[in-house]
Amino acid sequence: MRFRIRSTEDFYAGLMFIGFGILAMIVARDYPMGSAMRMGPGYFPTYIGALLVVVGALVSAQSLRVRGEGIGRWAWRPLIGLCLAFLAFGLVMDHFALGFVPALLALIVLSSLSGRESRLWEVAMLSAVLIAGAAGLFIYLLELPYPLFWWR
């Protein structure tokens, strides 16, 4: 009899658990195990990791038996777009130190572009309103210590 994966989401979920479990056990090898009576820093993570491998194997095994809905398509555009938005916010704030307003502008524009239906004037309006609101709330009212622009 040939094995067939009936539920791809369970199959990969199981692999994910196994992966995390093995990673935990490998990394924890650098920490002293100790004994049950005097647990070292490696004791708990090693056992949790081992349990995770067992659970992962069970989940994967189950995927051969129980039919699932399948993983479906991945939403690459929103995923990458929103990642870039956060990345840009972090870079502009810390590495380029251009200030709060440019960072928010980058964040809002990139976020908007991750959706399928963005309109230019709408994004412009939204950015203006949100940035003005955020500057008022966070910088003036809550007094977060961020410069609005690079010159101040």
Residues in contact with another protein, counted by CB under 8 A, come to a total of: 72
Position 99 contacts another protein (CB under 8 A): no
Position 122 contacts another protein (CB under 8 A): yes
**CB nearer another protein, residue 1 or residue 142:** 142
Position 116 contacts another protein (CB under 8 A): yes
Position 147 contacts another protein (CB under 8 A): no
**CB nearer another protein, residue 1 or residue 134:** 134
Position 101 contacts another protein (CB under 8 A): no
Pick from 90, 124, 140, 150: which binds another protein (CB under 8 A)?
A: 90
Position 115 contacts another protein (CB under 8 A): yes
What's the Rg (C-alpha) of the chain? 24
* Residue at 94: amino acid letter: D
Token pair recorded at residue 127: 């950015």
Among positions 30-49, residues that touch another protein (CB under 8 A) are 31-32, 35-41, 43-45, 48-49
Position 104 contacts another protein (CB under 8 A): yes
* Residue at 33: amino acid letter: M
C-alpha span between 24 and 47 (Å, rounded)? 9
CB 4, min distance to another protein, A: 18
Position 98 contacts another protein (CB under 8 A): no
